[in-house]
Amino acid sequence: MTPPDPGPQTVLCGEVRTSVLRTSEALTARTATQLLNLRPDEHVLLSERPNLRVVSPHQLTGVDCRLPALTGGRPRAVGTVAVRAVLTEGRVLQTSAFARLVPGVGSHRKPWGHYLLRPGDIEPLARHQARDVVEGFLASAPLPGGVLNPGSIAERLLDEVLRHQLLDQRAPFKSGRTRLRWTALPAAEGAQASIERFTVAADGLRTVALRTPSADPSAVAALCEDLALHDWLLTTLLALVERSRLGSGDGEAVLAALRPLVDHLLHLWMPGARVPDALAGVWETLERRPGFSRQWQSLVQRIRDQVALRTVPLSRPVMARS
Amino acid sequence: MLVFAASDKGGTGRSVTSSNVAYRRALAGDDVCYLDFDFGSPTAAAVFDVPGASRGVAAGGLHSHLQGRHTEPHRIDVWAESEHEELRYRPTGSGRLVLVPGDRDGGEFAIGKDTVRRCVNLFLQLESEFDVVVVDLSAGRSYAVDMVLEATAQPELARVLSRWLVFHRWTHQHVIAAHGLVFGERGIVAGGVERGHDKGALRDSIRFVRAAVPDPESPLWAHVPLAQSEWMRKCDRDLTELAAELDLGYARLLGKIPLEPVLQWREQLITDEDVLASKVAGMPTRQALEELAAALVDEEAWERQ
């Protein structure tokens, strides 16, 4: 039996794109700040503990679009989507676009000034069910044209930042981008933040459905950026370890393949470092199963063992023979 | 590395040969991406035997992406989606093989600043993900050629390694046409210089691939009359001289693909099964494709001038 319609609810939704920064050396705090200085009128946020994280000011993109919906019609909605860029340890770049779908329904489109006063809010112009919008948004197929698509807004900003002249376009290793699309519905009264699902579709799209007590879009987006960052790290490390043919005999080649991982990736693992307490439950769930850190630690251990084994000179016969 | 596959005319086996090179690089362990920039007739998917995309995809292909109609062009994992028996199982140690198809109802389109920007973004993104990115261009001095010349002239792509393969058949007409395509007044080099490329560097990044070359020494021709075999040898010598005169000689030659019915008629990837088990393709062809794939990443072959 379907639960009764809880009435109008706030829906948060967004998408995060994650990519390696295409530069041979990781950026320092100073150059990272220059890179993400997207708006002259607002400051770049910089934090150095527990790791270097630089966040650009928000940009706003006006949208007049249809809301995704799995079952019903696609109601029209108007407002703005916020997008920002985040750089971790001068090495991993993320762009994150998100919006808050406000409850209640307007009847007609208002002047843009109205929407600009509510940055990151989108106002529906027809009745809709929050659950339906969530399901439509997370359906893995590419979102149809004309439908709210924070991913394409994030993608545009990612391409823009990655072309910056500060970057020499030489990444230390080959890696792909990942896409994580997320939604958050209000948690039940008094309940903690929880994760309802985390899936990876065939085309590589990650989808996350959350329940959060906080309706602060920026905080929830930051949690999703953290999830996307660690998912990207794990994905990238797995792919690079597979390519390095760890078990094969060619020591030099394996070492050459592992070296950039040691130089640029292994120190980046820090799940939940900046996630506020109210949202921390999400990481706890993910750590229990599938156990992101468990898999990461085992990979890191494997890499370190290989590096150690292959650098020890076998000058003497193996001791076990004695 | 970006690899641009161009040809003077149609029918040079550009698509089928460059697809085979992509396949061989993937077998050698490289992650390879193949872009169908043949906007007039996107048929690369047919070579890779991918169902439903043999004339390009219905939506989400490269044309519409470059025109800004969507942000992510459709990708096809060849190992997973191909219907070719041999391609369905990814061999151990091989790299990824991804095809980015064109749109079914594509056609050539005007190139503006935004198109070039999207093209640069696409190249940068794929180059940071794949070891080899093969871009199959429409024949002749097409829009596609102009666009990639313009894109690679942008400062962001200046440090990305780009190489050109120009395919031509081994005939008098085709040798002259290939020379024109590269060195002519409206050729690739002139067009590149116009857009800000360094002339010497661009010239040095271009190599020729001779396709459908009959080998007079092949056992295939062992039983032809003496006069005919003499005539074939003379033609081959004359062509070699002509090519050398036109700067298409040894120094700029990257590979020679023998005349091969399977390549001509079936236009598909030549797998080891084709050569060893069913024997529909010849060993020399397989050898030539493998050598070409190796030469593509062999620095020595690209230092000759």
Tell me: the pLDDT tens digits for B120-158?
A: 999 999 999 999 999 999 899 888 999 999 999 999 999
Q: Find out whether B166 and B7 touch, Cβ atoms under 8 Å.
A: yes
Q: Name the token pair of A176.
A: 């792909």
Contacts of B156 in chain A (CB under 8 A): 163, 169
Confidence tier at A322 by pLDDT (50, 70, 90) = very low
Kindly state the average pLDDT of the residues A143-162.
94
CB distance B249 to B205 below 8 Å: no
Percentages of chain B per state (helix, strand, coil), in multiples of 5: 45, 15, 35
Residue B198 has pLDDT above 90, yes or no: yes
Q: DSSP code of B186? A: T
Close Cβ partners of B232 (under 8 Å, ≥ 6 residues apart)? B214, B216, B221, B224
**What pLDDT, on the 0 to 100 scale, is given for residue A315?**
57
- Tell me which chain A residue has its CA closest to the CA of residue B32: A174
Chain center to CA of B217: 27
Residue range B73-82, pLDDT digits in tens: 999 999 999 9
Residue B168 confidence (pLDDT) above 70: yes
Do B28 and B293 form a contact (C-beta atoms < 8 A)? yes
pLDDT > 70: percent of chain B? 99
Q: Do B121 and A171 touch (CB under 8 A)?
A: no
Mean pLDDT for A100-108 is 86
User: CA–CA separation, A288 vs A285, rounded Å?
Assistant: 5
For the four alpha carbons of B89, B91, B96 and B102, in that order, the dihedral sign comes to negative
- How far separated are the first and last CA of chain A, in Å rounded? 71
Instruction: State residue B252's pLDDT score.
Output: 95
Sheet containing strand B162-169, strands side by side: B76-77, B97-100, B32-37, B132-137, B2-7, B162-169, B206-213, B253-258
Q: Quote the ipTM score.
A: 0.91
- In three-state secondary structure terms, B139 is coil
Q: How far apart are the C-alpha atoms of A60 and B180, rounded to whole Å?
A: 50
Task: Tell me how far apart the alpha carbons of residues A161 and B105 are, in angstroms, rounded to a whole number.
Answer: 32
pLDDT of residue A87: 98
Q: Is A157 left (phi over 0), alpha (psi -120 to 50) or beta?
A: alpha
Task: Quick: pLDDT tens for B212-241.
Answer: 898 888 887 788 888 988 999 999 999 999
- The rounded distance, in Å, linking the Cα atoms of B13 and B167 is 7
pLDDT for B11 equals 81
Q: Is A136 exposed, middle or buried (0-12, 13-18, 19+ CB in 10 A)?
A: buried
**Domain ranges, ordered by start, for chain B:** 2-303
* A276 Rama class: left (phi>0) / alpha (psi -120 to 50) / beta: beta
**CA neighbor of A225 nearest in space, from A67, A95, A62:** A95
Domain map of chain A by residue range?
11-215, 234-311
The answer to whether B128 contacts A175, with C-beta atoms less than 8 Å apart, is yes
Question: For residue B80, what are the contacts with CB-CB under 8 A and spacing of at least 6?
Answer: none
The three-class DSSP label of residue B185 is coil
| pLDDT band (50, 70, 90) for residue A244 | confident
Of chain B, the end-to-end C-alpha distance in Å amounts to 20
pLDDT of residue B117: 96
What average pLDDT does chain A have? 91
Residue with tokens 């909605």, as numbered in its chain: A77
Answer yes or no: is pLDDT of A314 > 80. no
pLDDT grade, residue A176 (50/70/90)? very high
Min distance A304 CA to chain B CA atoms (Å): 22
- Coil, strand or helix at B31: coil
- A176 in contact with B, Cβ within 8 Å: yes
The residues that bridge with B168 in the sheet, in sequence order, are: B210
pLDDT higher than threshold 50 for residue B256: yes
In the block, tokens 């989808």 appear at A207
Q: Could you tell me where the DSSP H helices lie in chain B? A: 14-27, 44-47, 62-66, 78-81, 113-129, 143-152, 172-183, 188-194, 199-204, 226-245, 261, 272, 283-296, 299-303
pLDDT mean over A130-135:
93
Residue A164: pLDDT band with limits 50, 70, 90: very high
Residues of A with CB below 8 A from B61's CB?
none
Query: What is the per-residue pLDDT for A1?
Result: 44
- Three-state secondary-structure class, residue A72: coil
Residue A10 in this model has a pLDDT that exceeds 50 = yes
Residues B2-303, CATH architecture = 3-Layer(aba) Sandwich (3.40)
CB distance B159–A170 less than 8 Å? yes
What percent of chain B has a predicted confidence (pLDDT) above 90? 63
Structure tokens at B193: 């210089």
Supply the pLDDT for residue A73: 82
- Chain B residues contacting A via beta carbons under 8 Å: 29, 31, 60, 69-72, 75, 93, 95, 120-121, 124-125, 128-131, 155-157, 159-160
Range from A260-269, B219-228, B280-289 that averages highest in pLDDT: A260-269
**pLDDT score recorded for residue B89:** 85
- Cα(A159)–Cα(A12) distance, integer angstroms: 24
Q: Which of A54-58, A168-172, A226-230, B59-63 has the lowest mean pLDDT?
A: B59-63
Residue identified by tokens 């019609």 is A73
